[in-house]
Structure 1
Amino acid sequence: IANPWSPLPDEYLAPRFPDLEIVKIVTLAGEISRAIESVATNNGPSRSELEAIDVEDLDDGIHDFDVTTDYNEPIAQLIATIMSDAVRTRASDIHFKVEKETFYYAFRVDGDIGTKVEIPMKLKDRLDAFLLNLMKLPTEIRNTAPGISGRFTISYFHRPIDIRYERHRTYRGYHVTMRLLDKSNINVTLGKGTLAFDDETMFALQRVMKIPAGIIVMSGPTGSGKSTTLNAILRELNRPEVNILTLENPVEDEVPGITHCDLRGPKEFKPMIASFMRSDPDIILMGEVRDFESAELAIEAAVTGHKVLTTIHTPRASQIIERFEQLGIERWKIAQTLKAACAQRLVKLLCPYCKEPVHGIGETDRKTFSLDDSWGNIPLFEAKTGGCSECRNSGYSGRTAILEIIPITPKVSDLLSKGQMTPYELEMKIAEEGVLPNLRRNGLRLLRDGKTDLAAVSKVIDMTYTDD
């Protein structure tokens, strides 16, 4: 057991095994998960089991959904099995999709969507209705709403897993995406777990966190861990004497001592931020800058002496300034308030049990990815084709975050306010002030350390140029 105070032994095991003495042995949660995975080889229900499900058999009374319970209702058992497998395999998302005459589900694990598992087409409406029922939504909504958003919670061995549900109709039916938010599987402490940054990155990040006021922006594609890193930063900044307010859509990780607010519609954004400004805040987290209004509100909050943390979608940290301009913010306002531009990616890690040694990188790849000849003789590792049982035959196991940080120093701010500066010119100017962590350099560090391979790095980072 990972939690010695868990009620599981007394409330679940003792009544079922009254003649046995229950002995608690404390170990790491990861070791327990590994043990479960070693014996739980279920790859989902068989085709014959799926075909045997009665489409008319649906219990509308299930709301507290424990996916480790055996259900008599076939649809409930099917979904419980799928969700249980998703949690067990550390999936971040489950996709249900209709394509022509095919209905299937698939998991996204470590950033990649895996094998599609086909489900009989006759089950799609019942499965759809069951999921809507979990959120206590009327099934009629599926025929009228172009998109449906919702949330519900499942239980996996007494472990609550939040599910963020998104459904939109398609030409052939619908596409459902369910994001699994397993708090026990997320390490949101800077310097540990997924956020185990190198010393250079941690030093630069700690300096940025000490900025008293201004905007700190984290960029990156969806699923790159931006929000997780910002939440970790908030945990570091969270002290009794500091008033921290967040506006998120949705709230994913509640931190004790921080006031979290959920955004229930786009019309709420401006009045909520206005209310925040009158609530004596020290730090404000705005979920995302996506239009002129949200960008302007972030600028206004920073100008009035607040520290603002937010996210934006740009490929590189240096392009954040350009993106603010595209949204209609004047360059001098950006120069006055932006204090740090950051970009993040999640890189897949090689499976430590089956990774294979390789002697250097070939000439073609060195030219393609702008690597000097020394990379031809460096001992490296790569993923084993077909992997092993420990990594579910993928060759990779887990991901780690890499971070690019551009501090907007007074000198850089002055240059920005005086005239145009391209993203590349900004990077060169920052480089003159010392070596700072960037995505390419950190990706190559992971490669040199034998933690990942070139295929994984080049998938999430543009390696075809160098700014060193």
Structure 2
Amino acid sequence: MSQALKAIFETNPYTNLAPYLQALDEKGQKELILSLLGRDDIDLECFLKSNLESEGLIFKVLKEEGIEYIDIDSIRLVNVLILPQEFLPAIVVEVLPKQKHLKLIAPNFINPFHKLNITQSINDKFKDYKIDFCVCSHHMLQKINKALKFKYESKEVDITSILSYATLLNASDVHLVKQAKEASFYIRLDGVMQFIRKLGVNNFTSISKQLKLLSDVDITNRFNAMDGHFGIEIDSKTLDTRSSFLALKNGESIVLRLPSLKTKDFSFKDLGLDAKFIELLKDSLQAKSGLILISGPTGSGKTTTLYTCLEYINKGTKKIVTIEDPIEKEIANISQCEVKENFGFEVALKYVLRQDPDVIMIGEIRDKETLALALRAALSGHLVLASIHSSSVFSTIQRLRNLGAKKYILKATLRLFVSQRLLMTKCLECEGEGCVSCYFSGLGQRRLINEYLPFSSEIDYIMESLSALESFFKANAIASLESQAKELLAQGIITKGESLI
């Protein structure tokens, strides 16, 4: 490398390489790239940022030196942020205990002195592990460094940084908990709670006040539970966030429910539903009137099932109106309205009935008034889809009766009951032992199971007797939730805890 070239990069190692690389042969290009990355003061993120157009060549040169390019997908990104990062600024990407193998991104992996130092530090903790040095794209390295700075370096955090971190990992919920003299920040990923970091008590108090102001709830109320919602712009995206505040004996619990930013259209097959039930559901959705109820606890996928039903119906030939809290996914050609203070499900449904709808979707039947209006709508020639909190088909029937529904009205309106669960399976890669694919939790994808009852006036006797319902299930080869869970347990797909429906 010429003295003139050395002088240019000696002054500024982050000078764009592209014009100089074009003038060099392959050997000269390699020499220039390695000389810069071998400097004591080089910052890998800054170096890649100034050479985005040359990343491909840089990664090729590094591969020849045994530095692997690693694609940081969403699973790896989560692992990077969940793994204890004890060797910063070197970033541990993967730890595979069975194979005694570790992968990391180090800022000075070309410099022999720095490479030896980090290797010795890691060997003190991970004895006899094979260590692979890696590099990733500037885009992902920037994301990782930003998130790690939030997790390990920031003394004080704010609402924006908390939500930015949570949405980066596609978390469904944020949990902020203060108990006595300590506070913690958790997120829920794929149904599993993950601890992120501790928070200062004063920092928590400040965040709590800001969230209450945003949620338009009483900031002076320190004893009663409160719910709210607010919109906030995070990383150029608007999040419509639901908030819940619960006073504890020695503190407070705050939960923020985040909208899914990974909206995906599902088919019935994608949900894992069996062919027999899919045909039954499609037949029910083609009806002009009646009530289809999807039941299950929170987090059982009721909203996803309802959206999939709407997508199936939405052919442009019917007026479809939804009432939701909140709207979790916008669907073209469907009129979607959101409940607000003084505009709950009951009030919204009264106005929706004046919109000449063919199909009405109610996000949740919570009270007698909403149920009464839903049944009236089903009786007057509308197809009504709704969710309700109950644990089984039979408990759904009982819940409707407890909410004041008359038996003769239920006989005239009910079309299909569905009760469902999402069960957490064991990770297929490690069979529950813990690996990179499952964030080292041992858990795999969630599996949907359901039981269902196609209702008609001929089988109204089922309303009065659980044993009658069980006999009907047996005669029609419909598996109950309990029997499906027991079968999955016997096959080793789920744990004992998950099988306890």
The TM-score, its normalising length taken from structure 1, stands at 0.71
- Structure 1 counterpart SS, 2:372: helix
Work out whether 1:306 is the aligned partner of 2:385.
no
Residue aligning to 1:151: 230
1:8-19 to 2 correspondence within 5 Å? 17=50
| Range that drifts further, 209-218 or 197-206 | 197-206
Work out whether 1:440 is the aligned partner of 2:482.
yes
Residue aligning to 2:193: 113
Residue aligning to 2:77: 36
Opposite residue 458 of structure 2, the aligned amino acid is K
Residue aligning to 2:63: none
Q: 1:278 to 1:75 in 2, by over 3 A?
A: farther
1:243 & 1:17 partners in 2: Cα distance?
53
1:204-215 to 2 correspondence within 5 Å? 204-215=280-291
Identical aligned residues as a percent: 25
CA shift, 1:188, in A, is 3.6
CA shift, 1:165, in A, is 2.0
437, 444, 450: which one pairs with 1:390?
A: 437
| Range that drifts further, 80-89 or 145-154 | 80-89
The answer (yes or no) to whether the contact 2:473–2:479 under 8 Å persists in 1 is no
1:129-144 to 2 correspondence within 5 Å? 129-132=209-212, 135=214, 140=219
1:278 & 1:411 partners in 2: Cα distance?
33
1:15-414 to 2 correspondence within 5 Å? 17=50, 20=53, 32-37=73-78, 39-40=80-81, 77=157, 82-83=162-163, 85-87=165-167, 90-115=170-195, 117-132=197-212, 135=214, 140=219, 146-153=225-232, 155=234, 162-184=240-262, 188-192=266-270, 195-265=271-341, 268-355=344-431, 383-384=432-433, 387-413=434-460
Q: 1:138 to 1:202 in 2, by over 3 A?
A: closer
Q: 1:179 to 1:76 in 2, by over 3 A?
A: farther
The answer (yes or no) to whether the contact 2:164–2:234 under 8 Å persists in 1 is no
The answer (yes or no) to whether the contact 1:219–1:314 under 8 Å persists in 2 is yes
Opposite residue 215 of structure 1, the aligned amino acid is L
Opposite residue 20 of structure 1, the aligned amino acid is E
Structure 2: which 5+ residue stretches go unaligned? 1-45, 57-70, 88-142
Structure 1: which 5+ residue stretches go unaligned? 1-12, 24-29, 47-65, 356-382, 462-468
- Structure 1 counterpart SS, 2:340: coil
2:312 & 2:166 partners in 1: Cα distance?
31
Give the alignment's Cα RMSD to 1 decimal.
3.7
The answer (yes or no) to whether the contact 2:246–2:253 under 8 Å persists in 1 is yes
The answer (yes or no) to whether the contact 2:320–2:360 under 8 Å persists in 1 is yes
CA shift, 1:205, in A, is 2.5
2:55 & 2:358 partners in 1: Cα distance?
49
Opposite residue 464 of structure 2, the aligned amino acid is M
- Structure 2 counterpart SS, 1:435: coil
2:459 & 2:372 partners in 1: Cα distance?
21
Residue aligning to 2:496: 455
1:167 & 1:44 partners in 2: Cα distance?
32
1:19 & 1:112 partners in 2: Cα distance?
36
Q: 1:42 to 1:224 in 2, by over 3 A?
A: same
Higher RCO (C-alpha 8 Å, min separation 6): 1
- Structure 1 counterpart SS, 2:471: helix
The TM-score, its normalising length taken from structure 2, stands at 0.66
2:50 & 2:196 partners in 1: Cα distance?
39
How big is each residue's C-alpha offset from its partner over 1:103-150, in whole Å with a ceiling of 9 and x where there is no partner?
2222333434344843222322222244456x3859946669851411
- Structure 2 counterpart SS, 1:34: helix
1:395 & 1:304 partners in 2: Cα distance?
50
| Range that drifts further, 86-95 or 227-236 | 86-95
The answer (yes or no) to whether the contact 2:77–2:169 under 8 Å persists in 1 is no
Q: Specify the structure having the higher radius of gyration (Cα).
A: 2
CA shift, 1:79, in A, is 5.2
Opposite residue 269 of structure 2, the aligned amino acid is G
Q: 1:280 to 1:45 in 2, by over 3 A?
A: farther
Residue aligning to 2:464: 421
1:138 & 1:422 partners in 2: Cα distance?
45
- Structure 1 counterpart SS, 2:355: coil
2:198 & 2:273 partners in 1: Cα distance?
40
2:308 & 2:145 partners in 1: Cα distance?
31
Q: 1:211 to 1:67 in 2, by over 3 A?
A: farther
